[in-house]
Every structure is written in C-alpha cells, then in structure tokens.
Amino acid sequence: MKLWDELNAEIVSCEKCPRLVAYRQRVAAEKKREFRSWDYWGKPITGFGDRNAKILLVGLAPAAHGGNRTGRIFTGDSSAQTLMRALHAVGLASQPFSLHRDDGLKLSGVYLTAVCRCAPPENKPTPEEIRNCLPYLVRELELLREAKVVVALGQIAFGGTLKALEELARQRGVEWQILKPRPKFAHGAHYQIPDPRGGTLQLLASYHPSRQNTQTGRLTLQMLVDVLSRAKSLADL
Ligand code: SF4
C-alpha cells in the first residue's frame, strides 16, 4: 500500500516533460466548450484498477479532454467508451462505461496504465517523453506481481512495454532475453516471453481503441473483445 501511495504521489506531481506540463495546464485552463463547467484535472494520471490484477492493460496516454479532464485513465472519452464496453463484455469491468472518477466503476482482475501519463498534443508523445515516463511503468510491473498477461494497446504501448521489461531486467540484474526476432506489433499478436520477475509472461497486442481506429473500422468492438477474452483465458480468469 505504501509503495503504491508513494508511486502515485510521485506520478501526479511529476513535471519532467516541460512541453507536456505546459500543454496539460493550458488545456485545463482553456477547456472544451461542452466541458466548461468542469474543474479539469490538468495533471498526470496514475494507473487504475485491481492491484492484484492478473492482466495489465497498457495504453498510450490520457486524452486532453478525457483523462486530463476527469483525472482517471481511460475515463470520459471515446477510447474509454470502447474499452469499457469490451471489458464489461468479458466480465472484467462492473459497468460498460467510464465517465468520471465517481461513476462507481470497478475493475476486477485487470489494471489499466499507460506509457505516458500526461496528455500530449495530438495524442503524440515524443520518444523522450515516453522515456521520461517509463520508470513509472517499471515500478508498476514490480508492484503488480500477479500480472502475467500484458495487453498492449497500440504500437507505441507495445514498444514501451518491451522497453519497460528490459529496464526491469536490468534493475533486477537478471539475464533477460526476449524472443528472437524481437516481438513485433500486430493486432492479435501473442508472444510468450520470459518474465524478468520470474516465469513466463504472455504479451498480447491490440489496436488502440481510439476514435480514429473505431470510426474507420480498423478496430471493432468484437476485435477488442476477442483479444480481451484471450487475455482472460491466458490469465485463468
Ligand atoms: S509524461 Fe510522465 S514523465 Fe512526463 S511529465 Fe508527465 S508524468 Fe512526468
């Protein structure tokens, strides 16, 4: 509990990326017309969910008017809507929506996080910003000992997850070799890789449930449900 509290306190007060600090604060001050009565969060967001989770879901970053407004990851935007419908469909979320921090949402068996904790302009963090933020994911992996299935939502999250695992192995001083050739992102891809914490880790990939992907039909709800069902079965849930 103490380690979680320390980690989350560090995350919400982080100012390592000047561009993102300026952007998150500007968005919070200017607001979107439809949310003008909101008191925007305007800070980095922590992970959210079951701390004994067997499945870790890794996203990209909070949306300017989603997590950056509501203060909870995957909350209040269209990505959240799609993800929560899918998580609820497979029995990992208590409700098929994620609207605000007090909406009663409970996740069971799954923890949500991201490779970048601040809303980036155009949803595009720079490689340096992702590097700055990666230590938080490494620490979450240390704390989420039960999580042996990781679902990376999108290519950037997939690459960030592999880098976090490499860093975790380096910190633990363990020899760690991922499959050769290096795992590549593709929707529905599944890799069984050595876990630097011991044992084996199941790494699954899905397209990110962004509005762009869902509106173009690149990712349908059923495609996401299929990946999450697979994750659930791999986690013996
Ligand atoms: S993106 Fe991460 S490292 Fe950068 S300021 Fe936000 S919380 Fe800190």
CATH number of 102's domain: 3.40.470.10
Mutation test of ligand 1: which of 8, 45, 60, 132 has the most ligand atoms closer than 8 Å to its C-beta? 132
Q: What is the mean pLDDT of residues 91-98?
A: 98
Instruction: Report whether 157 contacts 58 (CB < 8 A).
Output: yes
Q: Would you tell me how many other CB atoms lie within 10 Å of the CB of residue 33? A: 6
Mutation test of ligand 1: which of 15, 124, 156 has the most ligand atoms closer than 8 Å to its C-beta? 15
Is the pLDDT reported for residue 113 higher than 80? yes
The 10s digit of each residue's pLDDT in 118-175 is 999 999 999 999 999 999 999 999 999 999 999 999 999 999 999 999 999 999 999 8
Pairing, β 48-49 against β 110-114: antiparallel
Distance (Å) from CA 186 to ligand 1 centroid: 27
For the CA of 16, the closest atom of ligand 1 is 5
The alpha carbon of 124 is separated from its chain's Cα centroid by a whole number of angstroms, namely 15
Mutation test of ligand 1: which of 10, 129, 130 has the most ligand atoms closer than 8 Å to its C-beta? 129
The 10s digit of each residue's pLDDT in 179-206 is 778 999 999 999 999 999 999 999 999 9
The residue segments making up the domain with residue 103 are: 2-234
190-195 CB contacts, 8 Å cutoff, 24+ apart = 190/230, 193/165, 195/148, 195/165
pTM of the full predicted structure? Answer: 0.97
**Torsion, Cα of 36, 39, 45, 46 (10° steps):** -140
Query: 133 CB less than 6 Å from ligand 1?
Result: yes
Query: 129 CB less than 6 Å from ligand 1?
Result: yes
Q: What is the mean pLDDT of residues 23-45?
A: 97
pLDDT for 13: 98
Distance (Å) from CA 43 to ligand 1 centroid: 9
Q: What is the mean pLDDT of residues 75-101?
A: 98
Pairing, β 149-153 against β 200-206: parallel
Query: 137 CB less than 6 Å from ligand 1?
Result: no
Instruction: Report whether 129 contacts 17 (CB < 8 A).
Output: yes
Amino acid at 69: R
Distance (Å) from CA 103 to ligand 1 centroid: 26
Considering its fold, how many domains does the chain have in total? 1
DSSP label at residue 93 = B
For the CA of 24, the closest atom of ligand 1 is 6
The half-sphere exposure of 127 on its side-chain side, counting CA atoms within 13 A, is 2
Query: 119 CB less than 6 Å from ligand 1?
Result: no
Q: What is the mean pLDDT of residues 72-100?
A: 98
Using DSSP's 3-state secondary structure scheme, residue 127 falls into helix
Q: What is the mean pLDDT of residues 57-84?
A: 98
- Determine the Cα–Cα distance for residues 65 and 56; give it in Å rounded to an integer: 24
Distance (Å) from CA 222 to ligand 1 centroid: 33
- Whole-number mean pLDDT of the chain? 97
The alpha carbon of 130 is separated from its chain's Cα centroid by a whole number of angstroms, namely 13
Locate the DSSP E strands across the chain.
48-49, 55-59, 110-114, 149-153, 190-194, 200-206
